[in-house]
Amino acid sequence: MHPDLINFIQGMKAEYYPLAVCEPAPAGPYLKQEWPCKSKKDKNPMSTAYATAMMVSQDTTDKDQRRYLLSELYDAFSAAKLALKRKFGLADDETPQTIQDAIKRIQDGLFVLPEKYKNRDSYASLSYIRWRDPKIVEDQAGYEAAKLPLKAAYTKTEREIKIFSPEKGLQAIIDFETAAAQ
Separation of alpha carbons 150 and 92, rounded Å: 20
* Number of helices followed by number of strands (H, E) in the chain: 6, 0
Range in 11-15, 102-106, 118-122 the model is least confident about? 11-15
- Comparison of pLDDT for 118 and 25, the residue scoring more: 118
pLDDT of residue 60: 79
**Amino acid making up residue 93:** D
150 CA to centre of own chain: 22
Cβ–Cβ under 8 Å, residues 40 and 144: no
Cβ–Cβ under 8 Å, residues 182 and 83: no
Cβ–Cβ under 8 Å, residues 157 and 175: yes
pLDDT of residue 121: 78
* Percentage of the chain modeled with pLDDT above 70: 68
At 14, is the pLDDT very low, low, confident or very high (cuts 50, 70, 90)? Answer: very low
Range in 35-39, 118-122, 176-180 the model is least confident about? 35-39
pLDDT at 6 over 70: no
Element (H, E) at 138: none
- Phi first, then psi: give them for residue 116, nearest 5 degrees: -70, -15
